[in-house]
Amino acid sequence: MRKVGSINYAEEIAYPGDSATLFAVVAQTAWSFFLDSCYTPLQQQREGCPLTISPASRYDIIVTSPQTTLVTRHGQTTVTDIATGEVRTSRSNPFSLVAQQLQQLAKPKVDELPFYGGAVGYFGYDLARYLERLPSVARDDAILPEMAIGIYPAALLVDHLTQRAFVVGSDAAARQQLLARLQQAVPHYPDFSLLSPAVAEISQADYLAAVTKIKSYIYAGDCYQVNYAQRFSAAVRGDDWWLYRYLRQINPAPYSAYLRLPQGALLSASPEQFLSLHRGRVVTRPIKGTAPRSADSETDQQLAAQLCQSVKDRAENVMIVDLLRNDLGRSCHTGSVTLEQLCELQSFAQVHHLVSTISAEIAADLSALDLLQNAFPGGSITGAPKIRAMEIIEQLEPTRRSAYCGSIAYIGVNGSMESNIAIRTLLREGDIVRYWVGGGIVADSEPLAEYAESLHKGAALQQALRHFLVS
């Protein structure tokens, strides 16, 4: 990489085009994370219904070699200082522990870019147990931790809109170390293989029965909506970086990510933004309402039109909008929470979605981690009211969700944050790959239609896995 200039707290390098070519150098290294916008050129859009391109997701971020790691499992967070090897454990609130570690990084004096180093990683769905009293019914068979966050003094930031790239951070030595690391040769990656097709861990009959049970709770007045999911799993071998590279080709999504951990990996092709915070402005874009895409342009447009006209899908979206407005109200200035878009059609490689946009101004005395905690987990993947929906999820889903439906995020030392909802996400644990698909169940949900919708959402993940199936 040729250095082409510098600004305060950033070294500009030549624009790499595809950031994956740079991340490949460190993709085998634990605690190497790639927040991948999959920013799609206009010429790659479909005819008729183009792929959605979000300016908010124009940045890629690559980090490796954290100075501190925080890993939460079974009520305890292990904080490791990488340089000294010092390890301590705590049962304190994990969000607060991340905030404490962020304070150890020097804050840049400029704010021209969205990220200058900070916390990067994921907050798993089951961190909700640190925030709310929930029953313990579903089986916890996860190997990946409930939270895995690295504190990074330097990062590579790629801006695809302006076609500029920077190694950022207030520590010049850390910036140079990262730049040198990314200039090394790409290591050999063992071939990836799927040893058996990915199969659902519950039967279709059990899925339909769960949807019917949720509808009975709704009719009884317990709740308005519950997001129910089923899990798929498959046996694999080899390096899943190959799998992620193929997934991002067939299903580019604006909040994608690849996270390599000591315990496994996360491969996310998420289309959904959870919370964004920049210069005090908060944005959330919940997704509710899904239709498949078609290779035939006319059929594709008909499917999109049917989704836009669906009373059921719009009602589902409006419920979650109300929930998120309330969640933002816990962290934002009174009167600042604004609905900017309701049920806007957005089209991705495999599906159409209805997406709403809500904005607000964060309270002056609160931080990004306060905002995240006060809205966690995202309402679009729980239901309404949130606590009762999570209780029903725990009762009806046979296994815990792990990282699924949590949030992959960065929280910058400059106070910025971008986070996704970790849907359309594969979890690699040992020789097993797992993923979940589901949807919001409401009073007029048809069980068979909900089952079919869940399969549409998982189609890209199935296609990516089948590409590597051993014949």
Residues 259 and 35: their CA atoms lie apart, in Å, by 8
213 is a catalytic site residue: no
pLDDT of residue 7: 56
Q: Which two tokens stand for residue 6?
A: 């510098």
Q: Which two tokens stand for residue 93?
A: 């609130």
Q: Which two tokens stand for residue 99?
A: 């905030």
Q: Which two tokens stand for residue 95?
A: 């969000």
Please give the sequence-ordered ranges of beta strands (E in DSSP) within 9-141, or none if there are none.
10-13, 32-36, 59-63, 68-73, 76-81, 87-90, 118-123
Calculate Rg over the CA atoms of the chain. Answer: 21
pLDDT of residue 349: 86
Length in residues, the chain: 471
Q: Which two tokens stand for residue 22?
A: 């740079």
- Give the other-Cβ count within 10 Å of 133's Cβ: 7
pLDDT of residue 52: 60
Residues 376 and 406: their CA atoms lie apart, in Å, by 8
| pLDDT, tens digit only, all 471 positions of the chain | 455 445 568 899 999 999 999 999 999 999 999 999 987 644 344 455 555 655 567 899 999 999 999 999 999 999 999 989 999 999 999 999 999 999 999 888 777 899 999 999 999 999 999 999 999 999 999 999 999 999 999 999 999 999 999 999 988 999 999 999 999 999 999 999 999 999 999 999 999 999 999 999 999 999 999 999 999 999 999 999 999 999 999 999 999 999 999 999 999 999 999 999 999 999 999 999 999 999 899 999 999 999 999 999 999 999 999 999 999 999 999 999 999 999 999 998 889 999 999 999 999 999 999 999 999 999 999 999 999 999 999 999 999 999 999 999 999 999 999 999 999 999 999 999 999 999 999 999 999 999 999 999 999 999 999 999 997
Residues 313 and 253: their CA atoms lie apart, in Å, by 21
Secondary element (H or E) of residue 370 = helix 368-375
DSSP 399: B
Cβ atoms of 357 and 325 closer than 8 Å: no
Q: Of the listed 215, 288, 386, 457, which one is catalytic?
A: 288
Q: Of the listed 11, 146, 272, 316, which one is catalytic?
A: 272
pLDDT of residue 194: 98
DSSP 438: E
394 is a catalytic site residue: no
| Residue from 439, 450, 386 nearest 223 by CA | 386
pLDDT of residue 112: 86
Show the domains of the chain with their CATH numbers. Answer: 3-182+193-466 (3.60.120.10)
Q: Which two tokens stand for residue 261?
A: 């951990």
Residue 269: strand, helix, or coil: strand
Number of H helices, E strands in the chain: 11, 26
